[in-house]
Chain A
Amino acid sequence: ETGVTQSPTHLIKTRGQQVTLRCSSQSGHNTVSWYQQALGQGPQFIFQYYREEENGRGNFPPRFSGLQFPNYSSELNVNALELDDSALYLCASSLLGHSSGNTIYFGEGSWLTVV
């Protein structure tokens, strides 16, 4: 049990549509990151939010956007869905800036299928 919960667990969308994925981080964690994991690949970093502001981004286009809220929840939004967006989307939370908070905890992920 990591204390990180994601919803929905599975969803199917049509190409061109928009999707919002949600994550509830561990209480007290000030950082949330989102990763995309295609089948057979390692997770790829999308972006990171620290104290409600984006402070790091991987090689993903602007149609991938996010939000982090004061209550430790966050969202990943993807616009204009493409078939290649089909993947497992993982949310990770951590407490950065503290020597005891180095471990990053992942949720169970949201499986997105774009048809």
Chain B
Amino acid sequence: KQEVTQIPAALSVPEGENLVLNCSFTDSAIYNLQWFRQDPGKGLTSLLLIQSSQREQTSGRLNASLDKSSGRSTLYIAASQPGDSATYLCAVRLSNRGSTLGRLYFGRGTQLTVWP
């Protein structure tokens, strides 16, 4: 069974800091890994998707890396802003195993607060 862990559970930083959010997973046979953002009471917004063959993906101030062999991913947020305040969720999809293709295994998320 795939277990996904995110550290830290919560993070509070002043505006402008560079941040690293961590995600680890137990089964390295993944198809891809996806980072999501969730605002309070809202649905999930996809931020970055990394295929199992890739090492990193970048979008604006966000950079996600993947080390499949060690079962780890990091989300790097540069020059954080108050608008970045949200919960960040990491999710992995296992390699094609028939009926479970498409199923995501989520961590509990990191709740980020960026204060002015």
B residues 74-93 near A (Cβ < 8 Å) are: 89, 91, 93
Most-contacted residue by chain B among A6, A31, A35 (CB, 10 A): A35
Report which of B36, B89, B100 forms a contact with A56, defined as CB distance below 8 A: B100
How many residues of A sit at the interface, in one of the four size bands? 20 to 34
Contact with A along B55-87 (1 / 0, CB 8 A): 000000000000000000000000000000000
| Chain B contact residues: helix, strand, loop or mixed | strand
Looking at the assembled complex, report how far the CB atom of A57 sits from the nearest CB atom of chain B, in whole angstroms.
Answer: 8
A residues 21-54 near B (Cβ < 8 Å) are: 31, 33, 35, 40-45, 48, 50
Q: Say yes or no: A42 contacts B89, CB within 8 Å.
A: yes
Looking at the assembled complex, report how far the CB atom of A66 sits from the nearest CB atom of chain B, in whole angstroms.
Answer: 14
Q: Given the complex, which residues of B lie within 8 Å of A102, measured CB to CB? A: 31-32, 49, 51, 93
**Residues of B participating in the A interface, judged by any CB pair closer than 8 Å:** 4, 31-32, 34, 36, 41-46, 49, 51, 89, 91, 93, 99-109
**Residues of A participating in the B interface, judged by any CB pair closer than 8 Å:** 2, 4, 6, 31, 33, 35, 40-45, 48, 50, 55-56, 58, 88, 90, 92, 94, 96, 102-109, 111
